[in-house]
Amino acid sequence: MPAPAVLVLEDGTRHNGRAYGAEGTTLGEVVFATGMSGYQETITDPSYAGQIVLQTAPHIGNTGMNDEDPESRRIWVAGYIVRDPSRVVSNWRANASLDETLVRDGIVGISGIDTRAVTRHIRSAGSMRGGIFSGADAGLDPEEQLRQVVEAPQMAGQNLSSQVSVDVATITTAIGERVGNLAVLDLGVKQATIDNLAARGFDVHVLPQTSTIDDIRAIDPVAVFYSNGPGDPAASGDHVALLRAVLDDGLPFFGICFGNQLLGRALGLGTYKLPFGHRGINQPVLDKSTGKVEITAHNHGFAVDAPLEGTFDSPNGYGKVEVSHVGLNDNVVEGLRALDIPAFSVQYHPEAAAGPHDANYLFDRFKDMVVAQQGDTK
């Protein structure tokens, strides 16, 4: 029988369950993810660093874990919450169970709680700090458990890029006809993103988040890409300054998720924290240029503050800008397009592993922009 465990939220709400994964204590921002599949990709997404992730789908772990589907080199979630973990693994590709992997990587989790109730509470009250206390730590005095939760850092104001970025540059060679060197600033990049960029003919240079404009120039890039990642974009001033140098050099730019927020700040726009964020693989987004609605994969707790209609002037002097994509659930900015410089971004994940492929065309749009820019400069 699994050991006891308790989930404690910063408002004092408590949910008793069973230990799942490693036993002990973990603290972080409690958020929910609505995907019904792709739990392996979710927990290995670096954007979840510092967060305790609750899966709204009740049955998790059915297909186990394998060596092909991780999105990065390790599990990044601070903790994990599921309702009914699978007791058996049923997939020919699996070489471990989810709970075994959580134990191996020291990820503290909890199962057997009413995840629907927790989700509804977060949707009403907003994402908040929480803690999972399992095994012997489940027996700690409730006041002590709550004290640890409320003394944990808030997500707002945190710069977490250094926790998830590579330390040294890596290169993935282009597939097919080569376009050129692409500088990818690793703020928490996913492997599926790298694969998609290489498939478009880029030699993908994944650079540490400490890279300077001289480091980028040294690889003679045809373009620059900012990845997804965790943390508050308002706490990433160095990455915004670097991006402004990229734009000043006239290099084509594409950013996703955190990269979208940083493009917004580089253009002179503000960002703000969403009440409970968008996390899942079923989010409807309108592409304003085509009028099509895409079902997309999201993982973000912050958004760009910009007018949804018409064009506006970049406060930092980069010409006209427009919001290119809008989230249909809550009218959140889901994409930006600069009209006078070669730069655009989206707030979601076009590589979508696991998830829908509706937005995969954005990698082609990026390649086309880079190739057109090369033609203009010849």
Give the closest residue to 264 by CA, choosing from 298, 302, 221, 301.
302
Phi, psi of 65 (to 5 degrees): -130, 145
Residue 376 CB partners (closer than 8 Å, separation 6+): none
Measured distance CA(88)–CA(73) in Å, rounded:
25
pLDDT category at 305 given cuts 50, 70, 90 is very high
Half-sphere exposure (Cβ direction) of 33: Cα atoms closer than 13 Å:
32
The per-residue pLDDT for range 35-59, each reduced to its tens digit, is 888 899 999 999 999 999 999 999 9
Measured distance CA(48)–CA(55) in Å, rounded:
13
| Predicted local confidence at residue 353, as pLDDT | 78
pLDDT category at 280 given cuts 50, 70, 90 is confident
What's the whole-number average pLDDT of the chain?
A: 95
| Predicted local confidence at residue 118, as pLDDT | 97
Residue 151 CB partners (closer than 8 Å, separation 6+): none
Residue 326: strand pairing partners: 286, 333
Other C-beta atoms lying within 10 Å of the C-beta of residue 2: 17
Burial of 282-315, coded b for 16+ CB within 10 Å and e otherwise, reads: ebebbbbeeeeebebbbbbbbbbebeeeeeeebe
The per-residue pLDDT for range 100-144, each reduced to its tens digit, is 999 999 999 999 999 999 999 999 999 999 999 999 999 999 999
pTM of the model: 0.94
Under DSSP, is residue 290 helix (H, G, I), strand (E, B) or coil? Answer: coil
Lookup result for tokens 């186990």: 64
The pLDDT of residue 210 is above 60: yes
Give the closest residue to 82 by CA, choosing from 52, 103, 105, 104.
52
The pLDDT of residue 98 is above 90: yes
The pLDDT of residue 265 is above 60: yes
The per-residue pLDDT for range 314-360, each reduced to its tens digit, is 999 999 999 999 999 999 999 999 999 999 999 999 988 778 889 99
Residue 49: strand pairing partners: 77
User: Region 248-261: what's the mean pLDDT?
Assistant: 98
Compare 175 and 156 and report the one with higher pLDDT.
Answer: 175
Report the chain's C-alpha Rg in angstroms: 21
pLDDT category at 377 given cuts 50, 70, 90 is low
Helix boundaries (H) for the chain? 39-43, 98-104, 115-125, 142-150, 161-164, 191-199, 213-218, 237-248, 258-267, 361-377
DSSP 314-373: -TTS--EEEEEEEETTT--EEEEEESSSSEEEESSBTT-SSS--TTTHHHHHHHHHHHHH
Residue 3 CB partners (closer than 8 Å, separation 6+): 18, 19, 23, 134, 135, 138
Distance of CA 128 to the CA centre of its chain: 18
Q: What's the sign of the alpha-carbon dihedral 201, 336, 227, 208?
A: positive
Under a CB-based contact definition with an 8 Å cutoff, are residues 81 and 132 in contact?
yes
* Helix 237-248 × helix 258-267 angle, to 10°: 70
Lookup result for tokens 């010409």: 319
| Predicted local confidence at residue 352, as pLDDT | 81
280: enclosing H helix or E strand: strand 270-287
The pLDDT of residue 248 is above 60: yes
User: Region 246-266: what's the mean pLDDT?
Assistant: 98
Residue 347 CB partners (closer than 8 Å, separation 6+): 256, 257, 260, 261, 278, 298, 300, 303, 304, 325, 327, 332, 333, 334, 335
Lookup result for tokens 């994944």: 206
| Catalytically annotated residues | 257, 349, 351
DSSP 162-195: HHHS-SS-EEE---SS--EEEEEE-SS--HHHHH
Query: Dihedral, CA atoms, 223, 228, 234, 239, nearest 10 degrees?
Result: -30
The pLDDT of residue 378 is above 80: no
The per-residue pLDDT for range 145-170, each reduced to its tens digit, is 999 999 999 998 888 999 999 999 99
Measured distance CA(320)–CA(314) in Å, rounded:
6
